[in-house]
Amino acid sequence: MKLLLLILSLVCGVYSQITSDSNIVIKEGETIVLQVKMPNWKPKTMSYDPTRVDWNGVISGCRATCRYDRRLCNFYVRASAHDSLSISEGFGGADGSLFLTLDEINRQENAYDSWAFLLSKNVLALAKRYNTSVADVIAVCGAIATEYSGGPKIITLNEQDPFLVGRFDTVEPNPAKALPGSNIDMNSFVSFSNKWNLTVEELTALMGSHSLVDNRGCIRMNGTMCNPMLEPCTDLRMFRWSNQYFKDVCSPNIRINNPPVRSSMPLETLEFHRLQSMCRFTSPELRKRELDIFETEIVPLMGTVNNDALVIDVEFDMEDVSWFSKDLTSRQWWYTVHDAWMGRTCQGKVEQTESNIKISTAMKQFSTNSVEWDTVYVRAYKKMVATGAEWATPGGYKITGDECPSGYVPALKGLVLDCSLCDENARRAGTYNCPANCKCRTGMSNSVRFYE
């Protein structure tokens, strides 16, 4: 039906760029069938001692994953929310079930770009390597991914608000449709925050991670376009932590369309779309996979399939949200319908309830003060990844990120160093003094790229 409507729209001349000589292709949505393998080892569902884990080694694995592909960093930030906040009365939450059940991996919110499938390989590999729970890998790597992308340091020495590990896993799927939908209004947003012990300011701060949205494609931090055929393209906006989300959604001229309307954005070429797909990943392996999938989604409609052919993207042909610049030029909306509601709240264009006023105030503050946003985000993240957790150690096990029961050693063979003051005990005692070339015995070096 969508294809038929698109063809009819062409006949009716909806797209002013199209002439009788145009080459036109359609980009269909992803239809890949995933062959997901569950681990052949036993997750930490009943017996687990987090005090014996080399947490500094786990952290090194998280960083090695981000070095392998920057998109995996983004996926970890998303996974920490999806695993923790998929919860209903009595069960669900931060329990690793996102990657331990086929049900959750295949859910619509986890299927986009096969992100949960791709990340599951890494999560399970790290959990097995360091003998830790899957739930803890998600929570720890989500924190490290934030820091790696330029965000705040979440795992530190903080006795008043420590970072906790020791979550048990579950092999039962979390409740379906428990995550807030992408089109919820502000009443639902406020209800969700109240339900799970997050202030509206904290839940608003968590929304700022949408600055890592991947629809930005090849746009650098300075606004120019990167060419992945010629450059690494690791300095893109989609890979950099910033308060751009709040700046974007707090800007005026956002219109929520119900029902959706035909996209007002000009059509781009096949080569443009191909490059945008390449920019979504930074590793040669995952970039090749993305390109292979991209080519299967292209369907000829009119004329010749070449690099200059115009592309009608079925996924974005209709606009739920229209966004305009000050001179009313159409802009690409990067976010969801709910993000548009957040924007209207920031602008004072919704009912002025006490909660909405708090949200608006927080958004305006976060848009101009990234330090304040980071502070609230850290507090909110720690609360989020503890939501619904069942702890192997009562109340959770506090870590600083320096824990390495296997011991610290020189990173290079033959190097003689005193690595005795590298652990969490030295950190807490105020005597921490760790040479740069000391590492946790099981840790990965700073040059390692790790996937599975």
Bridge partners of residue 163, in order along the sequence: 399
d(C-alpha 94, C-alpha 87), whole Å: 9
pLDDT number for residue 36: 66
Spatial contact of 332 and 265, defined as CB atoms under 8 Å apart? yes
pTM (two decimals): 0.93
Three-state SS at 244 = helix
pLDDT number for residue 21: 66
Interhelix angle 370-384/134-148, nearest 10 degrees: 180
Spatial contact of 101 and 173, defined as CB atoms under 8 Å apart? yes
pLDDT number for residue 19: 66
d(C-alpha 59, C-alpha 401), whole Å: 7
pLDDT number for residue 196: 83
Domain boundaries in the chain?
1-31+264-316, 50-180+381-399, 408-440
pLDDT number for residue 11: 40
Q: Which residues of the chain have pLDDT under 70?
A: 1-21, 25, 29-36, 88-92
Alpha helices in 228-324 (DSSP H): 244-249, 270-279, 284-296
Nearest partner of 402 among 420, 386, 385, judged by Cα = 420
Q: Is the dihedral of CA 277, 280, 282, 283 positive or negative?
A: negative
In percent, how much of the chain has pLDDT > 90? 67
Fold observed for domain 50-180+381-399: Peroxidase; domain 1 (1.10.520)
